[in-house]
Structure 1
Amino acid sequence: MSPAPFPPIEPPGSSALWEGYLRAGLQAAETAPGDVGEVVGVGGRLDPASLLAAYRHGIFPMGLGEGGTPPMGWWCPRWRGVLEPGTVHVSRSLRRSLRRFTVTVDEDFAGVLTACADPERDGFWITDAIRSAYTELHALGWAHSVEVRDDDGALVGGLYGVAIGGLFAGESMFHHVTDASKAALVGLDRLVGADGDPRRIIDVQWRTPHLGTLGVVEVHRREYLTRLEHALQAPALDLAAMVRGSL
């Protein structure tokens, strides 16, 4: 797979109808009870322009059927998991583990995506349609992978997500050995936080107990969307070029 281009290539624009649909869904979610307000749209397409429009509105796709199958749901959680760049918690044991790993960016997007999409994983949701869509986003320079390798060079962990301006929206992560997915998040945190721009955010969708130990916090949807507006105004980072000098 060819390296992701930088700066990323903007695809032909999404339809005004689609963007209006997303905005209407967000407005309706504000008055919806409980988890009903998590899904702000159903259906739609996974072409690059539609995906980027969704992320710019604070929305991400995940199928509503078993194993992520259709219909496609477009999500904007009431409480969003966010990692403030530069604030990841590195325990003493994790610090020791980091010495065993090498972290890279965009060297094996396909490998990371395949590992994240393993149907044997609990909570499997990454379908062939999702894989195809994010592979296309990667080819345009919007989707990125963080790889973690052991001393033998084997891919043992990683994550992938979408970077737009100062936003990195994490989609999924995996590990084959202890602490490898944590190492991927630590590496991403160091890159995104390298310039100290307070507008940048790392979005992890939902805060889990596991992610909470790494410093992920919850913010309300309204706060997240306000911060997203500022994040999108921050300059994009060439993560692959930065990785050699920052990790």
Structure 2
Amino acid sequence: MIDWLQEDLAPYFPDTKFAQEEPNGLLAAGGLLTPAWLIAAYRRGIFPWYDDDSPILWWSPAPRMVLKAEDFHLGRTVRKLMKKSDFKISCDLAFPDVIYQCAQPRDGEDGTWITEEMEQAYIHLHDNGISHSVECWSCSGELIGGLYGLQINKVFFGESMFSRKSNASKLVFAYFAQFLFDSGIIMIDCQMHSDHMAQFGASEIDRIEFETLLHDAVDQPLVINYPTFLTDNTEMRHE
């Protein structure tokens, strides 16, 4: 059994040690998707994940996929792409469009976990300067890739990404991760294992190590001024 969180109480969550092993990380249900609830959750390494047929479900899986600043690297192939590509990478120019594209079903999938309620919740966080998007634009101004997530002090919590052209999401993450670590971010939370993140140096760590790193990093104040563009050429005009 998992705890049911009461909407009329201040945000609270059970200890993450009570998260289920199967399904991995399921911790609680209920509560709200307000900024107060979401920030309280992420500060403890908890995030929402559910569909339209479910109540709000909160998760804290273990092991946890993370990218630490000291482990981040750009492989030769990625570096070549960054030199040769004429795509333009921006920050926070099209947050609603990015989360909408991330919410579209992938090939071979019928549905999505990014419900309309989730979209609005993270747009609200964006309006409050907490969640951020990164966009990849073609030379003609078409949005062809992107990602979104949220920053709490020295941690960036990655949520989702999409790609409509080959290598678009790879370039988005390469430029953005490099910027984050140069700006003082200690760790990017990637949540679950993916080969895409592993190529940049992300790896799985156990709950104790993750939560030790997390609690230290979220307690260290960090203000980042996100630039409009992460690439040098700023002459592109998006629609």
> Partner residue of 1:47?
34
CA drift at 1:26 = 1.3
* Corresponding residue pairs, total: 223
Query: TM-score, normalization: structure 1?
Result: 0.81
Identify if the C-alpha distance between structure 1 residues 81 and 239 changes in structure 2 by more than 3 Å, giving closer, same or farther.
farther
Alignment counterpart, residue 208 of structure 2, candidates 222, 229, 232: 222
Distance (Å, rounded) in 1 between the aligned partners of 2:128 and 2:59:
23
1:188-212 superposed Cα distances (whole Å, 9 cap, x missing partner):
21111114x4x71100111112322
> Partner residue of 1:133?
121
Q: List runs of 5+ in structure 2 lacking aligned partners.
A: 1-6, 234-239
Distance (Å, rounded) in 2 between the aligned partners of 1:180 and 1:50:
32
Q: Secondary structure at the match of 1:18?
A: coil
Distance (Å, rounded) in 2 between the aligned partners of 1:219 and 1:60:
17
Distance (Å, rounded) in 1 between the aligned partners of 2:9 and 2:56:
20
1:113-146 superposed Cα distances (whole Å, 9 cap, x missing partner):
1110113554721100000100100000101001
Distance (Å, rounded) in 2 between the aligned partners of 1:239 and 1:156:
24
> Partner residue of 1:185?
173
> Partner residue of 1:151?
139
Identical-residue share of aligned pairs (%): 33
Going by fraction, where is helix more abundant, 1 or 2? 1
Alignment counterpart, residue 49 of structure 2, candidates 48, 62, 67: 62
Aligned-CA RMSD value:
2.5
Distance (Å, rounded) in 1 between the aligned partners of 2:105 and 2:70:
33
Q: Secondary structure at the match of 2:22?
A: helix
Q: Secondary structure at the match of 2:139?
A: coil
Alignment counterpart, residue 173 of structure 1, candidates 161, 173, 191: 161
Query: Are 1:18 and 2:4 counterparts?
Result: no
Distance (Å, rounded) in 2 between the aligned partners of 1:170 and 1:15:
29
Distance (Å, rounded) in 2 between the aligned partners of 1:239 and 1:86:
22
Query: Does the 8 Å contact 1:108/1:147 carry over to 2?
Result: yes
Distance (Å, rounded) in 1 between the aligned partners of 2:230 and 2:165:
23
1:142-195 superposed Cα distances (whole Å, 9 cap, x missing partner):
010011112222211110001010110011000011111111111221111114
Query: Does the 8 Å contact 1:168/1:202 carry over to 2?
Result: yes
> Partner residue of 1:74?
58
Query: TM-score, normalization: structure 2?
Result: 0.83
CA drift at 1:239 = 4.3
> Partner residue of 1:235?
221
> Partner residue of 1:28?
18
Distance (Å, rounded) in 2 between the aligned partners of 1:141 and 1:200:
19
